Amino acid sequence: MKIFLISESFISIRENNVKIATVIDKANSFLKNLQKSIQKFDNFVFICNDPVQFEQNDISADFIAKAFKAQLKEFKNVIVLDNRTRQDAKNILQNADFVYLQGGKIPVQNKFLKEINFEKNINSDATIVGKSAGAMNLCEQVYNYPEEDSEVGGQKWYDGIGLCKYIIIPHFNLQNGNEFCFGNFNLLKDYYLPQSMSKKLYALTNGAYILIEDNAIVYGESYVIQNGKIEKICENNQFKILN
């Protein structure tokens, strides 16, 4: 099994602020590593964030599938795993060649993944890409920090699927101070740094990712937040083996 924990390595193409396509990013060898990792192009399984958002799930899966067709190879079958197909989840997962976990809200997807027994049913030969919340939910522990005032005071920690040990912070951007400001709180000062006193957080910028196979390798600009300090561990166009 090969696992990619990505922040944003499938790039949205927009016109007039409307998403019209998706492109697989070539930066930090993502497209190259993805091509090397996928052994068969039979079954692409798109795992939703919200299992009841049927129309959006279909649209998002179609964007990803078309990106593969244009840049790598077309999959024979594209299966969207949500409430319409959950009754066949075991068979779908056992026959998956490539699995993409959509980003979005952590708790909703976390619940769905456990209900379909993802970690028990997934094909051990599959290549898995988790984007943003999808990447976070693949790990042993998931830090559910708020992104708006209404989420302040909610449950902070969830048990993830447990396929890897890292605690992921996606979309990290130290160059833009406003990136951390949501409503009446600051993610960096109020959440990331305090939690780092007891947890080790791996912060990935958009375009950075962790590839887990025989070992774990981080590609692109990324950081470790630990003991109230931020340390850059990798630059763009470079990679580093993690402990």
Mind listing the pLDDT tens digit for each residue in 163-191? Answer: 999 999 999 998 766 667 767 888 899 99
**Do the Cβ atoms of 169 and 193 come closer than 8 Å?**
no
**Which tens digits make up the pLDDT trace of 122-134?**
999 999 999 999 9
Mean pLDDT of 58-67: 97
At 177 the pLDDT is: 63
At 176 the pLDDT is: 65
Q: Of residues 167 and 153, which shows the higher confidence score?
A: 167
Mean pLDDT of 106-127: 98
**Other beta carbons less than 10 A from residue 241's beta carbon:** 8
Domain architecture of the chain: domains with CATH:
2-242 (3.40.50.880)
Pairing mode, if any, of strands 10-15 and 18-24? antiparallel
**Which tens digits make up the pLDDT trace of 92-106?**
999 999 999 999 999
Mean pLDDT of 39-59: 97
Contact residues for 55 (Cβ-Cβ < 8 A; gap 6+): none
Dihedral of CA 71/77/83/88: which sign? negative
- Compute the mean pLDDT over every residue in the chain, rounded to the nearest whole number: 95
At 178 the pLDDT is: 62
Mean pLDDT of 54-69: 97
At 243 the pLDDT is: 83
